[in-house]
Amino acid sequence: MLTELKREAYEANLLLPKYGLINLTFGNASALDRARGIFAIKPSGVDYTVLKAKDMVLVDLEGKKIEGKLNPSSDTPTHRRLYLGFEKVGGIVHTHSSHATSFAQAGRAVPIFGTTHADYFYGEIPVTRKMTKQEISNGAYEWETGNVILERFKKLDPLDCPAVLVNRHAPFTWGLTVAKAVEVAVAAECCAHMALMSLQLVPKLGEIEPELLNKHFKRKHGPGAYYGQKK
């Protein structure tokens, strides 16, 4: 069932260690078939070296397991919450990539210092507030993780800023497809790394000028985009 969706999710999961975004089994990717309301997600705690496409678990947007012998990722409720809240998103990636996670642990957004960042994100990579004791302990921790992300995006367009840092935790990224969400995860890690180094060079460095941000983001996104090839 939904073999192609499982293959998409599987291939995205395999790219995470390939791009150096994953240590051990920290991280997961999922792909959504929005028409059917079903997504394919990595099984929990399975080593990437033994993972197979058929191991992907199918879950519906009510949280019911539809197919799969294995338990889905423990982060499944976060993915589900985001799919419900971000209506255009078709793929989600969660990693503990080192540099982005270092910002998340420190509770700091990744400031937007240059055009590399502006090519992918229309502003800083935001960080959520810390979760409350209640949210952590009410038995729906991973669902609440999705809620604090949505709270942070009340005034943000998730496709203008396709990444977030969960405070004390790590990044989530997304996109129209899971392949795009993987690409954004690479970009977020790379921008976090460079932001950290730019801060070492100029500790009070200001953010990129608005006109340059506009130029680079819109070179790649929206009706005036001219980067890349026509599809």
Footprint on this chain of a copy of itself (rule: CB under 8 A): 23-24, 26, 43-46, 70-71, 74, 96, 98-99, 101-108, 113-116, 119, 130-131, 133, 136-137, 141, 168-170, 183, 186-187, 190, 193-202, 205, 208-209, 211-212, 215, 219, 226-230
CA distance 189 to 41: 22
**Which is the catalytic residue, given 33, 55, 60, 119?**
119
The phi, psi pair for 168, rounded to 5°, reads 70, -5
CA distance 4 to 172: 23
Minimum CB distance to a copy of itself, residue 29 (Å): 17
- Specify the length of the chain in residues: 231
Spatial CB neighbours of 131, under 8 Å, sequence gap ≥ 6: 141, 144, 145, 148, 167, 168
Nearer Cβ to a copy of itself, position 33 or 142?
A: 142
CA distance 54 to 67: 10
69 CB burial (10 A radius; 0-12, 13-18, 19+): exposed
Nearer Cβ to a copy of itself, position 87 or 211?
A: 211
CA distance 94 to 98: 12
Minimum CB distance to a copy of itself, residue 184 (Å): 10
Spatial CB neighbours of 56, under 8 Å, sequence gap ≥ 6: 5, 6, 9, 10, 40, 41, 42, 43, 68
Nearer Cβ to a copy of itself, position 98 or 177?
A: 98
DSSP 216-230: HHHHHSSTT--SS--
CA distance 194 to 27: 22
Minimum CB distance to a copy of itself, residue 21 (Å): 11
Active site (annotated) includes residue 119: yes
Active site (annotated) includes residue 226: no
Minimum CB distance to a copy of itself, residue 117 (Å): 8
Q: CA neighbours within 13 Å on the CB side: how many for 84?
A: 15
Nearer Cβ to a copy of itself, position 156 or 212?
A: 212
Nearer Cβ to a copy of itself, position 57 or 82?
A: 57
Minimum CB distance to a copy of itself, residue 212 (Å): 6
Residues catalogued as catalytic: 119, 227
